[in-house]
Amino acid sequence: MHPLYPKIKPNLQTYLEFGDHSVYVEESGNPQGIAVLYLHGGPGGGSCSDHRRYFNPEKYRIIIFDQRGCGKSTPHASIRNNSTWDLIDDIEEIREYFAISHWLIAGGSWGTTLAMAYGIKFPERVLGFILRGIFLGSDSEVDWLYGKDGAAAIFPDQYQEFTAPLAHQHYNDVVKAFNKQLFASNEIARIASAKAWTLWETKISALQVDKAELNSSDDTHAAIAMACIENHYFSNKCFFEKDFILKNISKISQLPAFIIHGRYDMVCQLRQAWLVAQQWQNAELQIIPKSGHSGFEVAIIDAICRASDKMADFIISQKNY
């Protein structure tokens, strides 16, 4: 199994000002290498130092940023001027800030959604994609994750804990019910709801959930950003028209892509990756057995690192960066 690359420190850490948002951005690896942008999940999840480690630091110039309102970006948990299209504009500004002409786009979960949407808008800027855990931002996917007939049917015990903060409410729509509490003035209810929202996704994300991930999800600061921003996006249909990505795949299907998806992914269903791969002529779908959704399961790490190695060899052979 290919492990993560060794830990490295950033060459550069900075904040870029986008309207009323201050966005954390970093560069690591080889400044003359192939530029790669890694997009974290959520929305609202924030980046981590291990995201650098998917890529050979001798071959790649690795760019990572915390999307609006999360991680080290400020204002914390802000949903003001925070939409998919705002983030896509931010990505273009980051590319221009680093004077990058073309780059590889990689991401996991919501990061795949953002990666594909960016590519659809700016295909001429993209060398290719590495996508782990496809999410298309559709109502059916949100219903699967939060409704009582989706993942809840497989994890009824965890789902009961997830919806516990809503016990006093009568509701038909879990996302709307949580929205009321996440943006209410009652700080105690807000924190309880944020932790429940974030822990639910973490608990079903891997076949064996790491204790460190559970502890991270229980962190109040991070949980509030994840829950509030994710709920905001899902309440607004991820700011997409119906089937936006599938309808526009043809704009990026000429670009090479590795699509990596755990067979037992309970957060993002495999069928979405299958649908995308059927319409993407230059995509290779890798279904990873005995794996779920997390980007840090051993077999998923192996697949991502091998994909980044193969993509580097291909890009270098094309002299295309």
Active site residues: 109, 265, 293
Distance CA 94, CA 261 (A): 28
Element (H, E) at 174: helix 174-182
- DSSP codes joined into one string, 3-67: PPPPP---SEEEEEEETTEEEEEEEEE-TTSEEEEEE-STTTT---GGGGGGS-TTTEEEEEEPP
Distance CA 22, CA 72 (A): 9
Distance CA 53, CA 84 (A): 26
In the block, which residue shows the tokens 């690591």? 28
Coil, strand or helix at 222: helix
Q: How many CB atoms lie within 10 A of CB 31?
A: 11
Distance CA 252, CA 121 (A): 9
Q: How many CB atoms lie within 10 A of CB 11?
A: 14
Determine contact, residues 148/171, Cβ cutoff 8 Å: no
Partners of residue 107 on adjacent β-strands: 39, 131
Coil, strand or helix at 267: coil
196 token code pair: 């429940």
